Amino acid sequence: MAINWFPGHMHKARKEIAQVMPKVDLLIEVVDARIPYSSANPLVDEWRRDKPMLKILNKIDLADTSVTQNWIDYFQRDSDVRALTLDARNAQQCRELLNRGRKLVTAPRSSGKPITAMILGIPNVGKSTLINGMAGRIIAKTGNVPAVTKKQQRIPLAQDFVLLDTPGFLWPKLWPDGCGYRLAVTGAIKDAVIDYDDIAYFAADFLRQHYPDALIARYRLDAIPDDTMSLIEAIAARRGCIGRGGLIRLSQVSELLIREYRQGKLGRLSLETPRLIEAELSVAEREKAEKDAAKQARIALRQQNKKKTKRR
Ligand SMILES: Nc1nc2c(ncn2[C@@H]2O[C@H](COP(=O)(O)OP(=O)(O)O)[C@@H](O)[C@H]2O)c(=O)[nH]1
Ligand SMILES: [Mg+2]
């Protein structure tokens, strides 16, 4: 899936974060609880090494409770990571994270020096909402603010606690391919660059296999269709997304499905599990290894041919 991720901003953010990292005592990574893997930044582990981290699975009100528990267990296999769920619109819950953070930071600091925490997360994941909740006042603008590079901010949250807001723009995982789709379905990717028909098909296919009952209930279907296109047609018929001659209006039904998923109208539905990600990774790694091997073989062949021509 082709997505424009503003590489200029990416490089700048990457450099700035690496520079301040030595001063950071605690990382607070905010991910979308519906896609905790896809919405994470691929460089966080490289930056973090063994610094303590609070991994915040936000928008918990939209995610599947049992899948979320699987993710918490998965992340907490690393003893420096504490994974927690959050609805960042609840300021009290946000404020409580300060204590969770204090408990995690065990490395000695010079007396009187506040804990420096850095908050990381892709656009629209709920960072500003969380910052405002932790601070107990409006500091950061929330909602659909475009992802532009801003100066790194230092926000005092308590006498012993300072928060660094990430400079610029953080990107999510875009490999394997499913990650890009899931990010688009949740609304993490600007609508202007996505193809609704394409991502709605992806969503319908996933939901048909993993949450058929939610689809049956929401769209009053008699049964779950065997193939995804029939499902989309059935939803279109239920919702009057039908044009002249009885043809379905594909873009209308696609937008409807995506909108209703994002609003939680189909229920609390997660889009990935640790198992699914592991399976996708192993397929993608095998494909990559095959491609690399084929390339090596071509290079070797070319060198042999060169040698032969020289000898002649
Ligand atoms: N349903 C739900 N929406 C949330 C939650 N946290 C944030 N939001 C919404 O997500 C949108 C983006 O939040 P914002 O804080 O601006 O994200 P940022 O780009 O990471 O700073 C806003 O409309 C928030 O109200 C949450 O826990 N649940
Ligand atoms: Mg923000």
> How far is CA 141 from each of CA 15, 128, 132, 188, 191, rounded to the nearest angstrom?
24, 6, 9, 17, 20
pLDDT tens per residue, range 271-280 = 999 999 999 9
CA–CA distance, 200 with 261 (Å, rounded to integer): 10
Give the nearest ligand 1 atom to 58 CA.
27
The winner for highest mean pLDDT among 139-148, 162-171, 275-284 is 275-284
Q: For 99-108, 114-123, 172-181, 290-299, which range has the lowest pLDDT when averaged over its residues? A: 172-181
CB-facing half-sphere around the CA of 182: CA atoms within 13 A = 28
- What are the domain boundaries of the chain? 19-165, 178-262
Query: Tell me, what's the pLDDT at 2?
Result: 44
Please give the CATH number for the structural domain made up of 178-262: 1.10.1580.10
Ligand 1 atom 22 nearest Cα = 143
What do you get for the CA distance between the two ends of the chain, in Å?
Answer: 47
Q: Please name the fold of domain 19-165.
A: Rossmann fold (3.40.50)
Is a pLDDT exceeding 90 seen at residue 69? yes
**Band of the pLDDT at 149, cuts 50, 70, 90?**
very low
User: Is-contact 246 42, C-beta < 8 A?
Assistant: no
Q: What DSSP string describes 103-149?
A: HH--S---TTPPEEEEEE--TTSSHHHHHHHHHTS--S--SS-----
Q: Which residues line ligand 1 (CB under 6 A)?
A: 58-59, 61-62, 87-89, 121, 123-129, 142-143
- The pLDDT of 29-57, averaged and rounded, is 93
Cα-to-chain-centroid distance, residue 35: 5
Mutation choice for ligand 1 from 142, 149, 189, 259, CB with most ligand atoms inside 8 A: 142
Query: Tell me, what's the pLDDT at 55?
Result: 98
- The pLDDT of 95-106, averaged and rounded, is 96
